[in-house]
Structure 1
Amino acid sequence: MGDDCQAFVKWFQNKGGTVDLTSMELTYFPASEGGRGAVALKDLEEGHILFSIPREVTMSTRTSSLPSLFGMENWHRFGLDEGWSGLILSMMWETAQGPKSKWAEYLHVLPTSFDTPMFWDDKDLEELRGTSIIQKLGKEDAEKDYQSKLKPALESRPDLFPPAGSETYYSYKIYHVMGSRILSRSFNTEKWQRREEGEGEELQGDTSMGSAMDIDEHEVKGSELHSQSRRESESSDEEEDGDDEPSDPSDTAMVPMADMLNARYEHANASLFYEENVLNMVTTQPIKAGDQIWNTYSDLPNSELLRRYGHVDWLPLENGEQGNPGDVVEIPATVVVDAVKEIHTTMAEDRFTQRIDWWLEEGGDDIFDFGWEVEYPEAVFSLIRLLLLSDSEWEKAREKSKLPKPKPDAEVLTVLQNALTRRLDEYSTSIKDDESLLQRDDLRLNLRNAVIVRLGEKKILDAILAKVGTDIAAAYGKRPKRKLEPQSEAKGGKKSRR
C-alpha cells in the first residue's frame, strides 16, 4: 500500500470508518485492470463486510457546511439546489479549505486528470466519429451551467470565495474536474425514511439524479439493506420516467473508500449496502486471495464506460473475438426516417413530421439499440411500418391510438437495411483498418480506446446487416430486387465498411 493510500486509510478510520485490513488492501494494478483498486488478502466468503462508512463521512450538500454558510435562500436563488451544481461548488470550496476541510485527505487522493473524452483535444475526438459519445459529452450544457449558476454565486460572496483563489479552486477547468469526479465516483444515498411501525425500514429508491451508483434492493444476512451499482442518466436534472417528483440533488454523494474499487463487465464480487447510519461494502460472492475486488458499473457498453470513466472493457466474447459483451449500437429514429425518405422519395415532408410527433406522444422510442445478440428491437419495425402506412391507414391508427404491429416484411427489412448502412457510413474507418491499428504496440491510450469503441459497434452493425440480408432474401424467396450495400465505391468513392 502506497503512502498516500496509508494516509487515506488512517484518515478514514479516524473519521469513524472501519476497514478489515486483514481481508483487503488498497493497491495499484496495471492500467488495463483499473489502476488503483482493492485486492483480497485471503479467501473471502459471500456476505463478508469489507468496510463500513458512517453516513456523515460521505460528502454531499447535506454533509458539507457550505450550503448553510451561503444561506439556503440564496442557494435556491442561484439554482444550486438543481443538478450537480451545488455538490460541485461544495467540493470546490472544501478543497479550498485545505487541511481545515473535513475531507482534506480524501480530496487529496481523488484524481485530478481523466482519460474521458470530455478532456480530449479535437484530434482525438475525431477518432470517435460515428459513435454516440460526442453528442453526449454535454460541454455546452456544462459551460452554460458554470456561467449561469456557479459564476454568479461565486461573485456574490467574495468572503466565502476569495477572488485570489478563483483560478486555483473555482475555475471552469476545476469545475470539469469536480464534475468528472462526481460522474465517475458518486453514489446515490437517499435519506433514511422510516416506515410505519411494524412495517420495517427501507430506503426509498430514486435514481433520477444520475449519480454514478444506482440502487437495487437486496438482502444480506437477514438485514433489509440496499445495494448500489454504478450508473449515470443522461441528465443530472432528469426526472425518473413515470415519476412526477424530481429527485433530491442532496442524495448524490461522494463515498470515501467505496469509490476506490474498480469494475469490469460481469466481474462484480462486492457491492455497497446501507442501513440507517452506515454504508457497508459487502462481498456478493466468494473471492480468492490475491483477486481484485470489483464493484459494478451496471455492465455498460464501451461507449458509456469511456465517456463516464475513461476506460473500456476488452474481454473474450462468445463468438471467439475480443470486445465488450454489453456493447450496443444506437440507431436514432431520424436515421430510420431518412432511410424511408431515400426509398420513397415522393412522400411529403409533413407526412413524416406528423407521424414522428405522434409516435413520440404514444411513447415510441427515439433511439434503437442493437447488440451482440444480433436481434432486432421490435419497436424499430413498428416505426418503419408507421412511416409506410397509407394516409387512410395512418388516420385509422391515430384514431385508435394504436401503433402498427412490428411485422418485419421484405419492405420493412429493406428500410432497416438502408438505415443500418447509413449508420455504418458514419464511421471514418473500416473494420479491417481498426483491427490493424490494434496490432500496434505504440498506440496512444485515447486512440486505442476510441478504436475499441468504434470497432465493437461496427462489428455489431456488420453482423446485423448480414442477418438483414439473409432475411430479405428469404422474404422475397430470392435475392432482394433492391440490394442496398454498405458503403461502396459507387457512393462517393468510399470503401465498404464490411
Structure 2
Amino acid sequence: MADLDDFTAWFEQNNGFIDKEYMGFTVFSPEEGGRGAVALKDIPEGHTLFTIPRTLTLSTRTSELPHAFGLEAWKSANLHQGWAGLILCMMWEEAKGQASKWGPYLASLPSRFDTPVFWSDEDLTLLEGTTVVGKLGREDAERTYNEIIVPALQSHPELFSAEAAEKYYTLTQYHLMGSRILSRSFDVERWEGEGDDEENEAANTSRDMDVDEPEPQGEAAPASAEDAVEEEEEEDPSDVAMVPVADLLNARFECENAKLFYEEKVLKMISTKPIKAGEQIWNTYGDLPNSELLRRYGHVDLLPLPNGKKGNPGDVVELPANIVAAVVTEKLGTSQATAEERIDWWLEEGGDDVYVLDNDLEIPPTLASFAKLIGLSPEDWKKAKGKGKPPKAIMDQSMVEILREVLRRRLQQYPTSEVEDEKALEGELPLNARHATVVRLGEKRILSGILSNLKDVTKRKRDEEERSGQKGKKSRK
C-alpha cells in the first residue's frame, strides 16, 4: 500500500495524528469491505484513534479556489449550491498535483467505483423492480456539469487551462468526484468564529456544535445521508467535506465501534466500545438497506438473519401509492376521477406517495388508511374530507385482499422470482449481477413475508367464521 504510506506520511506532516500503536490499515476480504482499519491491540472504549486538523479537511471553505474565483462570482455562478462547488474544488486541487495541499490525499482516493452510476445499460436492467436506478441522478448530474461547471471553466481560463480541462475537468471526472463525495464525505459544520465575515456570508453559515472535554459531544455525520432531496434543502453545502483518514474506515450494519467527533480545531475518531486486537474498526453509514449501500458505496451487506439465511436486516422495499390506487379502483369500481381527487387531498394533507416496507413484515397503518380512503363511499368520503381526517386503518377481509393484490403486483415488477434469485446466488456471478441479485432478493423477501402474514390473517378469519358457524348450528339444535 505504497500510496497509503505516502498519504499517511503527508497526513502526519500536516499535524494529523494516528495512534499507530493501536490502529493500522490493511486489506480485508471484499465481504469485509476491502481496505480498512484494524485494531493492532485491544482498544478500550473512549480511545482517540486519530485526530484530523480542521484545516486538513477538503471543502469549499478550506480550498483556495472560491477566493481565487471571487466569492461574488462564485455565488453568481451558482457554485455555492449543492455539490457542484466542492466537485470543482476537488478537480482543481487534483489538477494542481503535488502543488496542491491535498495532492497525496487525492492520489490515495479510489479512481474506480462499483456503484450503479458507472454500470452499463445492460447491467442496469438487473436492477429492474428496485428504486436504485431512479435515484442515480445521472441526468441531473450531467445537466449540472453542462449548465454550471462548463460555464465556470470558460469564465476563468487563468484558473482552468484548456490543456488541463481535457484531463481533469471532464464529465467522467465530474462523476468520479461526485462518487468520492457520495461515498466518503462527512458533514463538518462550521465552528463558532471559524472564517471571516465575507466567508460566512458567502457560505451561508450553519449552526454550531459544542464539545466539552473530556467527553466528546459533537458527532460528525457521514454526508452521504444528505443526498436525499429533503435533507439537501436543509444542509449547508459548505459543510460537506472530505475528511482524510476518517474516510478509510468501512461500515457494516450495526457493527459501528468508532465515531468522528467535533472539537474547535480538530476532528477526532474515538472508539465507542472496546475493540479486540485483529478486529476491524467500523464507522457507520447509518445502517442503510442494500439498495442504498449499492447506490452510494458500491457494495452490499450479507449478514446472518434470524431465519438462517443471509441478507441485510436494514433492507426496505418502496411501494408507490399509484399501485395501491390502481388496485382499489379495479377492485371496488372507484372511478379514475374520484381516485385522483382523493389522492390530491391525501397529498395536500401531508400523506405519503411512497410507502416503505421493512423486515418487521407489517403493513404501515398509513398504507391501509390510504387504500381505505380511495375506496370510501361518497358519503364517507364527504365526512372524512369535512373532518380533515383520513379513515382509520381497519384490516377487514376486503382490505386484506386488496393489499395482497398490491403486494403481488409489486413483486411482478422484478424480472426474476425469489427462488430464481436464491438459486443464482449459489453459483458464480459477475460482481454487478451478484450485487443486483442481493438487492432484489432482500426486497422480495420482505414482500413475500408480508404476503404470507396476510395469508395467515385470511386463514385465521376464515377459521373463526367456520367456528362461529358451527357454534350457531349447535345452538339451534
Identify whether the pair has TM-score above 0.5, normalized to the shorter chain: yes
Q: Which amino acid in 2 is paired with 1:297?
A: Y
Give the C-alpha shift of residue 139 in structure 1: 1.0
| Structure 2 Cα separation of the partners of residues 237 and 157 of structure 1 | 33
2:62 pairs with 1:69:
no
Give the C-alpha shift of residue 205 in structure 1: 12
2:467 pairs with 1:455:
no
| Structure 1 Cα separation of the partners of residues 375 and 346 of structure 2 | 13
Matches within 5 A, 1:212-251: 221-229=214-222, 231-235=224-228, 238=231, 246-251=234-239
The answer (yes or no) to whether the contact 1:410–1:476 under 8 Å persists in 2 is no
- Local SS of the residue matching 2:192: strand
2:254 pairs with 1:255:
no
Note the alpha carbon deviations across 1:113-141, whole angstroms, 9 max, x for none: 10000000011111111111011111111
Query: Where do 5+ consecutive residues of structure 1 fail to align?
Result: 195-203, 208-214, 241-245, 481-498
| Structure 1 Cα separation of the partners of residues 121 and 313 of structure 2 | 29
| Structure 1 Cα separation of the partners of residues 347 and 206 of structure 2 | 25
Note the alpha carbon deviations across 1:42-76, whole angstroms, 9 max, x for none: 00000000000010100000000001111111111
Q: Which amino acid in 2 is paired with 1:329?
A: V
> Which residue pairs with 1:276 in the alignment?
264
- Change beyond 3 A, Cα 1:418–1:370: same
Give the C-alpha shift of residue 152 in structure 1: 0.9
| Structure 2 Cα separation of the partners of residues 276 and 370 of structure 1 | 41
Query: Where do 5+ consecutive residues of structure 2 fail to align?
Result: 194-203, 467-477
Q: Which amino acid in 1 is paired with 2:249?
A: L
| Structure 2 Cα separation of the partners of residues 392 and 401 of structure 1 | 14
> Which residue pairs with 1:399 in the alignment?
386
Note the alpha carbon deviations across 1:308-336, whole angstroms, 9 max, x for none: 00000011001111100111111111111
> Which residue pairs with 1:435 in the alignment?
422
> Which residue pairs with 2:309 in the alignment?
321
- Local SS of the residue matching 2:140: helix
Give the C-alpha shift of residue 383 in structure 1: 0.4
Q: Which amino acid in 1 is paired with 2:429?
A: L
- Change beyond 3 A, Cα 1:219–1:391: farther
Give the C-alpha shift of residue 236 in structure 1: 6.0
- Change beyond 3 A, Cα 1:239–1:437: closer
Give the C-alpha shift of residue 386 in structure 1: 0.8
Note the alpha carbon deviations across 1:348-374, whole angstroms, 9 max, x for none: 222111211111121112211112221
Matches within 5 A, 1:30-429: 30-193=29-192, 221-229=214-222, 231-235=224-228, 238=231, 246-344=234-332, 346-429=333-416
| Structure 1 Cα separation of the partners of residues 44 and 464 of structure 2 | 58
- Change beyond 3 A, Cα 1:298–1:205: farther
- Local SS of the residue matching 2:160: coil
Give the C-alpha shift of residue 341 in structure 1: 2.3
> Which residue pairs with 1:492 in the alignment?
none
| Structure 2 Cα separation of the partners of residues 88 and 294 of structure 1 | 27
Matches within 5 A, 1:18-29: 18-29=17-28
Give the C-alpha shift of residue 288 in structure 1: 0.5
The answer (yes or no) to whether the contact 1:409–1:475 under 8 Å persists in 2 is no
- Change beyond 3 A, Cα 1:221–1:238: closer
Give the C-alpha shift of residue 390 in structure 1: 1.4
- Local SS of the residue matching 2:5: helix
TM-score normalised according to structure 2 size: 0.91
Give the C-alpha shift of residue 417 in structure 1: 0.9
Q: How many residues align?
A: 456
The answer (yes or no) to whether the contact 2:45–2:271 under 8 Å persists in 1 is yes
> Which residue pairs with 2:473 in the alignment?
none
| Structure 2 Cα separation of the partners of residues 167 and 119 of structure 1 | 20
The answer (yes or no) to whether the contact 2:219–2:259 under 8 Å persists in 1 is no
Give the C-alpha shift of residue 223 in structure 1: 4.0
Which structure: larger Rg?
Answer: 2
Give the C-alpha shift of residue 218 in structure 1: 9.2
- Local SS of the residue matching 1:225: coil
- Tell me which of the two structures has the higher relative contact order, counting C-alpha pairs closer than 8 angstroms and 6 or more residues apart: 2
| Structure 1 Cα separation of the partners of residues 115 and 213 of structure 2 | 35
The answer (yes or no) to whether the contact 2:304–2:310 under 8 Å persists in 1 is yes
Taking only the aligned residue pairs, the percentage that are identical comes to 50
> Which residue pairs with 2:451 in the alignment?
465
- Local SS of the residue matching 1:265: coil
- Change beyond 3 A, Cα 1:152–1:230: closer
State which drifts further: 175-184 or 73-82.
73-82
Relative to its length, the structure with more helix (as a share) is 2
- Local SS of the residue matching 1:386: helix
Give the C-alpha shift of residue 439 in structure 1: 1.3
2:460 pairs with 1:474:
yes
| Structure 2 Cα separation of the partners of residues 479 and 14 of structure 1 | 77
Note the alpha carbon deviations across 1:412-466, whole angstroms, 9 max, x for none: 22111111111000111111211111111x3111111111110111111111111
- Change beyond 3 A, Cα 1:279–1:380: same
